[in-house]
Amino acid sequence: MPKFDIIVIGAGHAGIEAAHIAAKMGAKVLLVTSHVDLIGQMSCNPAIGGVAKGNIVREIGALGGLMADLIDQAGIHFRMLNSSKGSAVWGPRAQADRLLYRDLARRALKKHQNITIFQAMAAKLDVSTEKILAVTMDSGEIIATKAVILTAGTFLNGTIHIGLNTFAGGRMGEPSASGLTKSICALGITSGRLRTSSPPRIDGRSVDYSRLTVQRGDADPWPFSFFTRRKLHNKIVCWVVKTNTTTHQHILQNMDRSLQYTGKIQSAGPRYCPSIEDKVVRFGERGGHVLYLEPETRSGCELYLNGFSTGLPCDVQEKMVASMEGLERARIVRPGYGIEYDYFQPLQLKPSLESRIVPGLFFAGQVNGTSGYEEAACQGLMAGINAVLALRGEKPVVLGRDTSYVGVLIDDLVTKGTDEPYRMFTSRAEHRLLLRQDNCDERLMPIARSLGTITQTQYDKRQRFWDKKKRTEEWLGGIRVTPEQYGKMGIGTISQPGIAGELLRRPEVEIKELLIACELNVGCEQCVGNNDNTDTLIPEQSAQQTSAVCSCLVTQFDRFLALGVESEIKYKGFVKKQLKEIEKLHRLEETQIPDDFCYNVPGLLTESQEKLRRICPNTLGQASRIGGITPADISVLAMFLLKAKNKQVKND
Ligand SMILES: Cc1cc2nc3c(=O)[nH]c(=O)nc-3n(C[C@H](O)[C@H](O)[C@H](O)COP(=O)(O)OP(=O)(O)OC[C@H]3O[C@@H](n4cnc5c(N)ncnc54)[C@H](O)[C@@H]3O)c2cc1C
C-alpha cells in the first residue's frame, strides 16, 4: 500500500468524522476498521442529540462535519427537548434508523477520493524517536503513515459480561482488539479501564401497545444541519413503559449474579447513564422508573428499551421485562450486556488532541474516556482538523470554552482528565447562554470557512441569514406596541405603549404572538419568497407598521428567524455580562506558557508545581482550570511569566 498522510483506526462516530474532515482538507487518509459493513454503527441507543449533546451535533455541522446531516437524513423521530423552557436550554434529539445511518455514513465517505477504506485489525503502532512511522495490522501488513488518529471505541481489550459470564468482544457480535493497548502503553502512555452497558432489544411483535402511552415526535421537526432545506418528517412513534416493584425485586434478588455488584469488576461506569441496577440501588423505587420503547429501524421489528441498560443474566432480564405493563409477553431479541474496555488518560493530550508523548499520534472518542456518539464525533472532527494542520506545520485549532461545547469538552478532558465515562451536560459550560443551539453557525462557521471545511456559497447563505437577524432585531427596536395590542396576546397588560424589542425581553412574550397582535409580519415565505433572499426583507417593507397581515402569517412563519431574533433579545443582558467575564479570561488565555517551562517558581506550592508539570497547560487560562490550582498560584505564575517576558524584551 502507498504511504498515507493519516491512518484513522476505527470507523465509529469519531473515526468517520476524522477521516471525512481530514480528506476534505486534502489529506490522503486510510480508514482502517475491523468491519466495513459496520461503519458508523450505533453501538447502543439509535438516537443522536439531546440537551447539550444536540448543541454538539449542530456545532459539528457548522464546522463542516458529517453528523448533523446524517441524522437529518436518517432521522425517524425528532423532538426538541426542553422546548417549553427558554431557548437557551433547548436540545434537539432524533432517533435514527440505525441501518440507514450506517449506509449514509458509508456513502458519505465513499464520495471522497482521498479516503481509502480498509478492513483489518490494527495491532501495533510503529514509532521511532519522536515520529509515527507506520501501523502494523494483525495480518502482519505494515502501512506507512505520517500521522495516526486512534478512535477504537470500546474495542481495546473489550470484555463483554452478561451476568457472571464473560467473554472477549469489542461490541456484541464483534471481536475485541488486543495488542494495540500494549503497543501504545509501551510508548509511555497511561491506560485505564472503564465500563458501560446496553439494554435488551425487544421483539416489537410481542408488545401489547394498547396498554402503553404513545410518545410522538414534534409536529414540525427542527433540523440539526444548518444546510438542511427540506422539511423533516417523523416516521415512527415511541412508547412509554415503567418499571414497578416486581421489576425492582427481580433486580435486587439477583445482585449476586451481577459482575459489578459482586465486586468482580471495579472499573467506573457512566454516572449519568446508569444501568437499571444502579438506578434501583441509587435512587430506590421512585414509584417506578420511566423507560422508552424506541424502534431501531423502519424495516425490522426490534425495539430499544431506553433506560434499561443491564448486565444481569438473561433469565433475570426476561423476568424483569415481563414484569412491566404491556411487556408481559415480550420476547427479548438480544439481551442487554455490560462491557469493560481500555481507555487512555486524556491528561496526556494537548488541546489539539495530539499526544504530548508521541507527536503525530492523535486520540479521539471513547478511547479518551468519553461516552456517547456526539462526544466521540466532535473529538474525531477536531483530531482530523488538527492532524492535517500539524502535517502542514500550522498552528492547531483549539476552540475556546466560550465558543462551543466542543471546546468545553476537549478543555475538560485535557485539563481535568477523567476517571469515569465523561458525558456532556449544559452545566459543564460556564458560558452556556452563549452556546445555544440556535447560534452555532454564527459562532463556528467563520472558523470552518477559514479552514475550508465549508464552502463560500454555504457561508454566504448563512451570512445573509445573520444580516437578516440583525436587521430584524434593529427593526423591532423601532416598533411601538400599544396597550391594546399587547392585551391581545392574553398574557398580561401594559399601562403605557412599549417598544417591541424591549417587551420581547420578558420571558412570557413570544415574538410570533407579539407580531400577530401588532398585525406585523416578518419573513413569511409566501410574502417574501425564499428566506435566504435578503433583497425582499419584510422588516424593510413593514417599516411603517403596515397593518396588512398575510393569510399565511401563522403557518408559514419563518421560525428560524423568529427563534434567532428572540433568543438574541431575551439573553442580551446575560450575554453582555458573560462577554465581559470572557474578556477578562481572554487575557489569561492569551498568556502562553512555554512547552518546556519547569514550574520551579518561587512562591508556587510544591503540590501545585507537580500538578502543573503533569498537565503542562498551554496557557495561564488552562492552568487556572486545573483542579487544586488556586488564584494565588495563577498570580504567582502570571508575575513570573511577565517578568521573564520583560527580561527577554530587554535582552532582545
Ligand atoms: C454496550 C455499549 C453500551 C453503550 N452505552 C452507551 C450509553 O448508554 N450512552 C452513550 O452515550 N453511549 C453509550 N455507548 C457508547 C457509544 O457507543 C460510544 O460512545 C460511541 O460509539 C463511541 O464512538 P467511537 O467512535 O469512539 O467508538 P465506536 O463507535 O465504538 O467505534 C470504534 C470503531 O473502531 C473500530 N476498531 C476498534 N479497534 C480497532 C482496531 N484495532 N483496528 C481497526 N478497527 C478497530 C471498530 O470496528 C469501530 O468501527 C455504549 C457502547 C456500548 C458498546
Q: Give me ligand 1 centre to Cα 13, in Å.
A: 8
The dihedral sign for the CA sequence 357, 358, 359, 360: negative
pLDDT band at 580 (very low <50, low <70, confident <90, very high): confident
Q: Which residue puts its alpha carbon closest to atom 27 of ligand 1?
A: 153
Q: Give me ligand 1 centre to Cα 265, in Å.
A: 20
Mutate to test the pocket of ligand 1, among 17, 135, 154 (most ligand atoms within 8 A of CB): 154
Whether 527 shows a pLDDT value over 50: the answer reads: no
Counting every residue written for the chain, the total comes to: 652
Q: Give me ligand 1 centre to Cα 371, in Å.
A: 9
CA geometry: angle at 417 spanning 442 and 89, to 5°? 35
The per-residue pLDDT for 212 is 96
Nearest in space to 13 (alpha carbons), one of 40, 38, 45 = 40
User: What rounded mean pLDDT belongs to the chain?
Assistant: 90
The C-alpha atoms of residue 504 and residue 525 are separated, in whole angstroms, by 23
Q: Give me ligand 1 centre to Cα 155, in Å.
A: 7
The 10s digit of each residue's pLDDT in 330-346 is 999 999 999 999 999 99
CB 293 within 8 A of CB 173: no
pLDDT band at 642 (very low <50, low <70, confident <90, very high): confident
The dihedral sign for the CA sequence 578, 80, 53, 29: negative
The 10s digit of each residue's pLDDT in 145-189 is 999 999 999 999 999 999 999 999 999 999 999 989 999 999 999
pLDDT band at 522 (very low <50, low <70, confident <90, very high): low
Mean pLDDT of 429-442: 92
Higher pLDDT, 272 or 378: 378
Task: Please report the atom of ligand 1 found closest to the CA of residue 180.
Answer: 41
Mind giving me the DSSP string for 158-181?
A: -EEEETTEEEE-SBTTB--B-SHH
Whether 120 shows a pLDDT value over 70: the answer reads: yes
The per-residue pLDDT for 4 is 96
Mind giving me the DSSP string for 554-570?
A: TTT--HHHHHHHHHHHH
Please name the residue that has the C-alpha cell 399565511: 552
Q: Which residue puts its alpha carbon closest to atom 35 of ligand 1?
A: 10
- Quote the crossing angle between the two packed helices 53-62 and 67-74, to the nearest 10°: 110
Helix (H) or strand (E) holding 481: strand 480-481
The per-residue pLDDT for 521 is 58
Q: Give me ligand 1 centre to Cα 317, in Å.
A: 23
CB 542 within 8 A of CB 520: yes
Q: Which amino acid is at 544?
A: Q
Ligand 1 proximal residues by C-beta, below 6 Å: 9-15, 32-35, 43-45, 121-122, 151-155, 170-171, 177, 180, 196-198, 273, 309, 339, 365-366, 371-373, 376
The 10s digit of each residue's pLDDT in 401-434 is 999 999 999 999 999 899 899 999 988 888 889 9
Strand partners, 49: 93
Q: Which amino acid is at 195?
A: R
CB 88 within 8 A of CB 436: yes
% of the chain beyond a pLDDT of 70: 94
Q: Give me ligand 1 centre to Cα 167, in Å.
A: 17
The 10s digit of each residue's pLDDT in 240-292 is 999 999 999 999 999 998 887 888 777 888 887 788 998 998 887 777 999 99
Q: With the CA atoms of 184, 186, 192 and 195 taken in that order, what torsion angle do they form, in degrees rounded to the nearest 10?
A: 50
Whether 99 shows a pLDDT value over 70: the answer reads: yes
The per-residue pLDDT for 539 is 40
Task: Please report the atom of ligand 1 found closest to the CA of residue 179.
Answer: 41
Q: Which amino acid is at 605?
A: L
The C-alpha atoms of residue 315 and residue 307 are separated, in whole angstroms, by 19
User: What stretches of 188-299 show up as alpha helix (H) in DSSP?
Assistant: 245-253, 276-283
Q: Which amino acid is at 130?
A: E
Other C-beta atoms lying within 10 Å of the C-beta of residue 203:
16
pLDDT band at 197 (very low <50, low <70, confident <90, very high): very high
The C-alpha atoms of residue 124 and residue 140 are separated, in whole angstroms, by 10
Task: Please report the atom of ligand 1 found closest to the CA of residue 309.
Answer: 8
Mutate to test the pocket of ligand 1, among 267, 291, 371, 422 (most ligand atoms within 8 A of CB): 371
Q: Which residue puts its alpha carbon closest to atom 6 of ligand 1?
A: 44
Q: Give me ligand 1 centre to Cα 164, in Å.
A: 23
Q: Give me ligand 1 centre to Cα 348, in Å.
A: 21
Task: Please report the atom of ligand 1 found closest to the CA of residue 177.
Answer: 41
Task: Please report the atom of ligand 1 found closest to the CA of residue 171.
Answer: 53
Whether 217 shows a pLDDT value over 90: the answer reads: yes
Mean pLDDT of 517-541: 48
Lowest mean pLDDT among 426-430, 439-443, 474-478, 520-524: 520-524
Q: Where do the DSSP E strands lie in 86-158? A: 91-96, 115-119, 122-128, 131-137, 142-150
Q: Give me ligand 1 centre to Cα 338, in Å.
A: 13
The per-residue pLDDT for 344 is 97
Mean pLDDT of 215-232: 94
% of the chain beyond a pLDDT of 90: 69
Whether 540 shows a pLDDT value over 60: the answer reads: no
CB 197 within 8 A of CB 269: yes
The C-alpha atoms of residue 450 and residue 457 are separated, in whole angstroms, by 13
Mean pLDDT of 547-559: 47
Task: Please report the atom of ligand 1 found closest to the CA of residue 273.
Answer: 8
CB 179 within 8 A of CB 339: no
The per-residue pLDDT for 270 is 81
Q: Give me ligand 1 centre to Cα 106, in Å.
A: 16
The per-residue pLDDT for 534 is 35
Cell numbers representing residue 578 in the block: 458573560
Nearest in space to 367 (alpha carbons), one of 116, 132, 143, 157 = 157
The C-alpha atoms of residue 279 and residue 461 are separated, in whole angstroms, by 47
Q: Give me ligand 1 centre to Cα 171, in Å.
A: 7
CB 341 within 8 A of CB 193: yes
The 10s digit of each residue's pLDDT in 30-60 is 999 999 999 999 999 999 999 999 999 999 9
Lowest mean pLDDT among 3-12, 273-282, 361-370: 273-282
Q: Which residue puts its alpha carbon closest to atom 21 of ligand 1?
A: 373
The per-residue pLDDT for 544 is 41
The dihedral sign for the CA sequence 108, 111, 113, 117: positive
CB 574 within 8 A of CB 443: no
Please name the residue that has the C-alpha cell 428567524: 561
